[in-house]
Amino acid sequence: MADLTFTDQNFADEVLQSQTPVLVDFWAAWCVPCRIVSPIIEELAVDYSGKLKVGKLDVDANGTTAQNYGIMSIPSVVLFKNGEPVKTMIGAQSKDNYKKEIDAALAS
């Protein structure tokens, strides 16, 4: 389960300094497409357990981090490797598409 909750306060420790790649779902409670993507993100957390940290960042409660990464549309799912964003996927997408993009980014 995507039980990690990223915040402005823990983002550097949990994401930027992580030795493991991190998938961050930038979302908001009022966003209908975000609610559609949420179960897919949770499935990805299970599928990539041990290979990828997966969590969510509420853009309303953590605007500084969202602004730092230029998040203008949600849901935005960003894959970080070695503290750097390497892939951004904007809008609700299929699980297969997320997996394809994650696999390609992890292989590079």
pTM for this model (two decimals):
0.95
* pLDDT given at position 1: 45
β 84-90/76-81 pair status: antiparallel
Beta strand ranges found along the chain (DSSP E): 4-6, 22-27, 53-58, 76-81, 84-90
* pLDDT given at position 41: 95
* pLDDT given at position 2: 53
Catalytic residues: 31, 34
Domain count, the chain: 1
Instruction: Quote the domain boundaries for residue 44.
Output: 4-107
The packing angle between helices 32-47 and 95-107, to 10°, is 50
| CB count in 10 Å sphere of residue 51 | 11
Helices (H), 48-91: 63-68
- Give me the CATH number covering residue 55: 3.40.30.10
Walk along the chain (108 residues) and give the pLDDT tens digit of each residue. 457 999 999 999 999 999 999 999 999 999 999 999 999 999 999 999 999 999 999 999 999 999 999 999 999 999 999 999 999 999 999 999 999 999 999 898
